[in-house]
Structure 1
């Protein structure tokens, strides 16, 4: 199972990528129904990253192996393949979203975004594509803001990357000019922003209620907020992965990373993302900057550096697909052949708070703050401290040095030291606690003065 989508009636649909078909799970009866795809080539496999529901009662999903998008008619239980326009350098239709009368698909390796017109019969469906500006590059996930602008990423790992804003409405209004022989230039409809430092593999992209753009980076533990009003990026970091997810039997993993992969926002001011190599699903409250990360119980030891491959509590389940609806996060486990759900309405075993929201440090200076643990019951079991920050770790001992002591079961004293050779700047420091099921943290701002 890979891509997943919850339909308006509450049924959960997902793509079975090894057999090229989709299946339905009824949460009420807890029954699965699989729908055989008779036109799928026998023995073929694919990676279907994108899936969405259209108001005519159909599920649409991408097929990266045969450069196809598929329509499944839920009522008639019929599959219809639609050929994706292949780029000269090759294509990989990846994420898929239905917006009005359009299906929008990013071509990950083909450097374009394609719009399919849903108002037409599938036999005569038309499309148009926007070619990305960086040649031989990857075109990542996308989102549409409240003014109908399309935002997406275009990048070459470790080399160059752009966040692009495309004015859909203006382009539609001017398209008739091309029909009467007037030249229109695609670049006139773009605004382009360079990636910030440390954003290298921009997979997931989402837009919040205030039209801020959120991008997660799959080659690190970072995720980023872009504010279109002042055109600035803010970098955040996830918690450090728990050892049970990466094992480190060989000892070669010195700095484990979580690899945030895809993202989604809701109307309640939350950002959701999956952390591939920390086996967690994250919920970030955009307003108060609290982060909750739910550990998925399934762990496959073959996908981590585990000492004993028969040991169940080591590894990752490869949580590649998720969908959020009605306070539930439905997700797929690609390596475990499962789907699952997180009930985010369920009270957390503990919350955290700090006595300050920000700290200003001179180089070489130390500040001490209090992290309070607020349990929901008298028996919360063993908990552990976790910290991470966005300051540089390239220097020999990191620009920010964090140490802690448990003052009592409900308070941790945290010492924050700015390295003598630290780079000046504004950073995010994540402080929290975790048990085997959940990590609860909050961010504070740390300013290192020049």
Structure 2
């Protein structure tokens, strides 16, 4: 299976060229599409970027189409299908609820939870709107951003990836791609201020600000994809409408990406280690090379750390309470834990623990999760974990862009839990929209934020993960207050393998079902037969996409059906057993690896980590 076959790159680029000449004949925007495609995302998102920023769009009012050719009208319709969520329905499952945005074609990305007022804020990147959602009242308020590049144009968006609250929690800050700016919105007086990045380049018209953070009450730091610099803003010295108070701090990357064209090198995001006053930044040449950058705020000095060759697209970054770095590799299905680096400029594999997501759900290609009739489909394709965040409870969250899931990894019990997003867009799939009746694709959940538990009993304040669906004109949340009805225990939890010695390895997976929780989920889903299908799954860190390189596996049984009925209604739980047999097919490089093994259901997946050591 190859999802990229869905997209006709050549024809899309031809559309971009013809429309750009009409709409932006003298603008620098014509010159920077390639770096965007190279740096921001994999091929799955690249074509979306081209369409978002190149195809004509309007509200399809008659007067706007009078002067449009038939080809341009078709392009407008295509843009709406791909980006506006016109045909998207509001869906939910037991764990996730979706909410439609009342504004037409908002193209939401940046999103943040306001713990002070219990509100959710997001940026509509097509029309330039800051939206406020009140979970208690279930309604939206909108605020028109004073200047927005794409608002009055027949084409385009200005992508906003980051929305943060400063230390006062009275101000909302967010990035603006096309106007190369940071915006601040004061919640008290409802006023906007714009701070322009003083970026100069002969090649690009914008630094493309993408990530920002506040080390204290007086300062903000941010990075842009194209500038290859860390930017610092002094909050007291910044003046709206100008670049005053913003300074550029160039990162010494000149010798770090030798042999790679400059336009392929960019920055991913940043995170602040408050305890050590360090700023950590991901730098990358997409799918070629990755680098970590550390900037010590008091000393104003950079340190660069080469990543192992297998980590080629570090994008999201977060720091846990123990100072460990967590990063995503957005070209793959991988995310990594990196121990605080030593003074060496090279991070070795002993400092890195490699994790992978579950394989893609077969629903991405239109096959039900429990349909085993086509077992030749390769589901070990890139799930594309994008951004990553850690919590005070030491949980790690990431959004699987193509995997169509929000994932939580809990280091304290080595458990990976993935929540399936109930919306799919067939245009983002290998399925044909014209001939297929299957539900295929993914919802483009491109950004998320975490709502923590609170100590009071105020309504709607359980822990949630809020996310935006860029192509569906919706937001949604994962209700973490609802418990997974399944627990699994895998034995053994450590495997010591020697090449040429171990031909077959056996594991035992006990699946424990809480019948009360199972009943609640089945009743919510109106499942008449009171049956939950569970499919055993696994991935390994032998490869970036989790495939079983060097192994083959069999599950007995290969499908479980857990029932809630009169025969077990008085029981608290039931269980099943799955035997896992691993056969080693060829030599595996010596080292430490992780195997994750578990089950996939309709609404969630739950997997446990098994450590593997391979020696000669």
- TM-score by structure 1 length? 0.90
Distance (whole Å) between structure 2 residues aligned to residue 363 and residue 81 of structure 1? 60
Match in the other structure for 2:221: 104
Q: 1:198-224 CA deviation, whole Å, 9 max, x = no partner?
A: 211111100001000001011000111
CA pair 345-65 structure 1, distance change in 2 beyond 3 A: same
3-state SS of paired residue (1:303):
coil
Choose 282-291 or 94-103, whichever is displaced more: 94-103
Pairing 1:82-97 to 2, within 5 Å after superposition: 82-88=195-201, 89-90=203-204, 91-97=207-213
Q: 1:45-71 CA deviation, whole Å, 9 max, x = no partner?
A: 211001111216221100111211111
Q: Of 319, 342, 348, which aligns to 2:484?
A: 348
Offset, 1:277:
0.2
Match in the other structure for 2:339: 227
1:296 partnered with 2:421: yes
Pairing 1:1-400 to 2, within 5 Å after superposition: 1-7=108-114, 8-41=116-149, 42-43=152-153, 45-54=157-166, 55=168, 57-88=170-201, 89-90=203-204, 91-100=207-216, 101-123=218-240, 125-135=244-254, 136=262, 137-145=265-273, 146-171=275-300, 189-228=301-340, 232-247=351-366, 255-308=380-433, 311=437, 313-326=439-452, 327-364=463-500, 365=502, 366-377=504-515, 381-392=532-543, 398-400=549-551
CA pair 264-312 structure 1, distance change in 2 beyond 3 A: farther
CA pair 260-87 structure 1, distance change in 2 beyond 3 A: farther
Q: Any conservation in 2 of the 1:362–1:418 contact (CA below 8 Å)?
A: no
Distance (whole Å) between structure 2 residues aligned to residue 148 and residue 390 of structure 1? 32
3-state SS of paired residue (1:245):
helix
CA pair 346-85 structure 1, distance change in 2 beyond 3 A: same
Runs of 4 or more, structure 1, over 4 Å off, are: 251-254, 309-312
Q: Of 400, 404, 411, which aligns to 2:577?
A: 411
CA pair 121-153 structure 1, distance change in 2 beyond 3 A: closer
Q: Any conservation in 2 of the 1:359–1:446 contact (CA below 8 Å)?
A: yes
Match in the other structure for 2:5: none
Offset, 1:386:
0.9
Q: Any conservation in 2 of the 1:246–1:278 contact (CA below 8 Å)?
A: no
Distance (whole Å) between structure 1 residues aligned to residue 591 and residue 147 of structure 2? 57
Match in the other structure for 1:174: none
- TM-score by structure 2 length? 0.66
Match in the other structure for 2:598: 432
Offset, 1:418:
3.0
Distance (whole Å) between structure 2 residues aligned to residue 255 and residue 397 of structure 1? 9
Distance (whole Å) between structure 2 residues aligned to residue 385 and residue 338 of structure 1? 31
Distance (whole Å) between structure 2 residues aligned to residue 14 and residue 155 of structure 1? 27
Offset, 1:195:
1.3
Offset, 1:311:
4.8
Larger Rg: 2
Aligned positions, number: 430
Q: Give the structure with the larger helix fraction.
A: 2
3-state SS of paired residue (2:427):
helix
CA pair 266-87 structure 1, distance change in 2 beyond 3 A: farther
Offset, 1:38:
3.9
CA pair 121-191 structure 1, distance change in 2 beyond 3 A: closer
CA pair 219-436 structure 1, distance change in 2 beyond 3 A: same
Q: Any conservation in 1 of the 2:333–2:544 contact (CA below 8 Å)?
A: no
- Where structure 1 has 5 or more consecutive residues not aligned to the other structure, the ranges are 172-188
Q: 1:98-126 CA deviation, whole Å, 9 max, x = no partner?
A: 22122221111211121111123534741
Choose 125-134 or 23-32, whichever is displaced more: 125-134
Offset, 1:191:
2.7
Offset, 1:315:
1.2
Offset, 1:401:
2.5
Distance (whole Å) between structure 2 residues aligned to residue 203 and residue 402 of structure 1? 32
CA pair 17-252 structure 1, distance change in 2 beyond 3 A: farther
Q: Any conservation in 2 of the 1:115–1:128 contact (CA below 8 Å)?
A: yes
3-state SS of paired residue (2:317):
strand
Distance (whole Å) between structure 2 residues aligned to residue 254 and residue 6 of structure 1? 33
Match in the other structure for 1:180: none
3-state SS of paired residue (1:302):
coil
